[in-house]
Amino acid sequence: MKVTPTSFVTIEYLIRSGENEYFPKTKEPEELSFCLGWGLMPGPLEEAMVGMTIDEQKTIRLTPEEAFGEIDDDLVHEVPREEFDPEANPEEGDVFETTDEEGHTAYFVVKDVRPESVVIDFNHPLAGKKVEFEITLKAVREATPDDVKGCSCSECGGSHPHEH
């Protein structure tokens, strides 16, 4: 079976940015399963997957705009140090998990630790960077109704494909 614009797929992926920056940092591919057409992955990556078959490998190069967007300065904040758990000792490069106003999980990276505050960044760690996805298609099938229930945004409640 070939990948269609609405298939459910499992891929192994490795992302490279620049000479020696990899995600995952182990430089070992990770497996990921998702339904195409729901905006969970960059659109040009999903488009490049259409027509692929099991065990096919592909390298897809994306600009910052196509991948994880440009850096948005509005997503960088300086917060008082006391907003962190007293046992947390934030250091530059640490990644923390929090929840937004709507209860969704959000991640941020510590950019700078100052005596009274911490600079945190909610941009994707690869925002503003050209990236190269190395993918191998491991499985493909038609998406089921349960697969497309994955979206829980207030705009659609999982009822239709769209970008987030």
Does residue 139 share a domain with residue 65? Answer: yes
Residue 22 backbone dihedrals phi, psi, to 5 degrees: -125, 150
What pLDDT is recorded for position 117? 96
DSSP 91: -
Task: Name the residue range of residue 114's domain.
Answer: 73-121
What pLDDT is recorded for position 150? 55
- Per-residue model confidence as pLDDT tens digits over 94-146: 999 999 889 889 999 999 999 999 999 999 989 999 999 999 999 999 999 88
Residue 44 scores a pLDDT above 80: yes
Q: In degrees to the nearest 10, what's the CA dihedral of 119, 15, 60, 35?
A: -90
Does residue 145 share a domain with residue 115? Answer: no
CB-based contacts of 41: which residues, under 8 Å, 6+ apart?
34
- Per-residue model confidence as pLDDT tens digits over 62-91: 999 999 999 999 999 999 999 998 888 999
Q: CA 164, CA 153: separation in Å to the nearest integer?
A: 9
Does residue 83 share a domain with residue 57? Answer: no
Does residue 132 share a domain with residue 59? Answer: yes
Q: How many structural domains comprise the chain? A: 2
Does residue 82 share a domain with residue 38? Answer: no
Query: Residue range 17-46: average pLDDT?
Result: 92
pLDDT cut 90: percent of the chain above it: 74
Q: pTM of the prediction? A: 0.76
Does residue 78 share a domain with residue 108? Answer: yes
Residue 59 scores a pLDDT above 90: yes
Q: With respect to residue 164, please indicate whether it lies within any of the assigned structural domains.
A: no
Least confident span in 17-31, 42-56, 131-145: 17-31
Query: Residue range 137-162: average pLDDT?
Result: 67
Does residue 65 share a domain with residue 142? Answer: yes
